[in-house]
Amino acid sequence: MSVLSGKKILLGISGGIAAYKTAHLVRLFIKAGAHVRVVMTPASKDFITPLTLSTLSKNPVYSSFYNEDEQTVDNAMWNNHVELGLWADLMLIAPATANTLSKMANGNCDNFLIACYLSAKCPVYFAPAMDLDMYKHPSTLASFHSLQQFGNIIIPAESGELASGLSGEGRMAEPENILAFIEQDLSSRLPLKGKKILVTAGPTFEAIDPVRFIGNHSSGKMGFDIAICAADLGAQVVLVSGPTQFETNHAHIQLIKVISAQEMYQACHEFYSSVDVAICAAAVADYRPKTIARQKIKKNASEFHIELEKTPDILASLGKIKQHQFLIGFALETENEIENAQLKIQKKNLDLIVLNSLRDPGSGFGVATNQVTFIDKQNNIEPKPLQSKELVALDIINKIIAHYHA
């Protein structure tokens, strides 16, 4: 999965021959899972049509401060450059001509693209495109310097045959290279880049016979949401999941499927020494049958007794051998919630515990929301409101980010 998946990209196109490449660029962004809106200068429409770009982006294309399709200016609908600038997760200006670069550097706001640029609060990338003498002219170099001082990011031009017939530096980077540059730059800035995280998810099933098992109602959603959130923010994730309907094809998640508590225990210990963080969100069965029947148990007697034994306590076992790891556990309680959670922190050598209460409406198994309380090893208590499990996952990951950036 691309780091651009789900990102909102505002593509600004100025009037250079390289504008014809932006059709392919839009396709690449869409293929990567991004949402794209396009803003064009009036001159850029001489090189590629708004219809082409609106068809590819599946969004209207903007080029002026009002809707030019209206019959009269008096009835025209205003295009909100501020809204577009604030909508974007990132803005790319490609091609960025010498004229547009100068306007950006000096705040010369005489077209809709520059107005959007000046309103943008997101990272701004620009891909210069011009002939080699223009590319090396002191005024152009001054524009590069000013824009980079503003925090804008240059995607260097490439060398090759130019529209003038000359060959040299100034050719806009190819669309594939622009995509790769942005992906690499965004990845390098992710707060969990370089971190490896172990996450457990779902229930465990403890076999009674070849047909029946002891389990619970955990869907695994919370653990999967945590794993995806961590991976989206740059971490390499090992996700050890019990039986669940959820799947993931995220490029930064290694999914390991298990069934029993013993299998989950073994998988966690296999990876634990190599991870920076472990988040045990799985609802592991506390007991398992002492013996497993080889054949299906027949329904003969009016009563049936199963002798149970404890399953391995995965979280406690990880806490016992913890060295550098930041260890997070979950506690699902029905009474004396805070006190029981605080005891678990000490007993299992945790850094943070995420407390759930089944008494809170909208929390627990089989629902899309959760209401949790964070308790750390210093006994700081932080209750959170009822919210989606995706937002709970982000809150948990933010705790990890805060730990490493304190």
Q: What is the pLDDT of residue 251?
A: 85
Q: What is the pTM of this model?
A: 0.79
Active site residues: 216
- Residue found under tokens 């005024």: 139
Nearest to 38 by CA among 16, 19, 60: 60
CATH entry 3.40.630.30 includes domain 196-291+307-404: no
Q: How many angstroms separate the CA atoms of 104 and 100, rounded?
A: 6
DSSP strands (E only) in 97-235: 124-128, 153-154, 158-161, 167-171, 196-201, 206-207, 213-214
Q: In terms of residues, how long is the chain?
A: 406
Structure tokens belonging to residue 137: 């002219």
Q: What confidence category does residue 2 fall into, taking pLDDT thresholds of 50, 70 and 90?
A: confident
Q: Report the percent of the chain where pLDDT is more than 70.
A: 94
Check if the beta carbon of residue 239 is closer than 8 Å to that of residue 249: no
Q: Where are the domains of the chain?
A: 8-189, 196-291+307-404
CA distance 392 to 229: 10
Q: Given pLDDT bands bounded at 50, 70 and 90, which one contains residue 16? A: very high
The model's confidence at residue 71, banded by pLDDT at 50, 70 and 90, is very low
Residue 84 — pLDDT band, cuts 50, 70, 90?
confident
pLDDT at 42 over 70: yes
Residues 215-239 pLDDT 10s = 999 999 999 999 999 999 999 999 9
* Residue 208 φ/ψ region, left for φ over 0, alpha for ψ in the -120 to 50 degree band, beta for the rest: alpha
Q: Write b or e for each residue in 180-201: b if 16 or more Cβ atoms lie within 10 A of its Cβ, otherwise e.
A: ebbeeebeeebebeebbbbbbb
Please check the confidence at residue 54 and state whether its pLDDT lies above 50: yes
Q: Do domains 8-189 and 196-291+307-404 have the same CATH topology?
A: yes
Percent of the chain with pLDDT over 90: 78
Q: How far is CA 90 from CA 186, 247, 398, in A?
A: 10, 29, 22
Over residues 265-318, the pLDDT tens digits come to 999 999 999 999 999 999 999 999 999 999 998 887 788 889 999 999 999 999
Q: Are 381 and 374 in contact (CB under 8 A)?
A: yes
Spatial neighbors of 290 by CB under 8 A, at least 6 apart, are 307, 308, 309
Mean pLDDT of all residues belonging to the chain? 91
Whether the per-residue pLDDT at 204 is higher than 90: the answer is yes
In tens, the pLDDT along 154-197 reads 999 998 887 777 777 889 999 999 999 999 999 888 999 999 99
The secondary structure of 234-297 as a DSSP string is T-EEEEEE-S-S-----TTEEEEE--SHHHHHHHHHHHGGG-SEEEE--B--SEEESS--SSPP
DSSP annotation string for 319-369: HHT-SS-EEEEEEEESSSHHHHHHHHHHHHT-SEEEEEETTSTT-STTSSE
Residue with tokens 């019959």: 71
Q: What is the average pLDDT across 10-19? A: 95
Check if CATH label 3.90.1530.30 holds for domain 8-189.
Answer: no
Banded model confidence at residue 364, pLDDT cuts 50, 70, 90: low
Distance, CA of 238 to CA of 219 (rounded, Å):
18
* Higher pLDDT, residue 338 or 275: 275
Count of beta carbons in the 10 Å neighbourhood of residue 303? 4
Reply yes or no on whether the pLDDT at 334 is more than 50: yes
Q: Is the pLDDT of residue 70 over 50?
A: no
Supply the pLDDT for residue 68: 57
Packing angle, helices 22-31 and 50-57, rounded to 10:
10
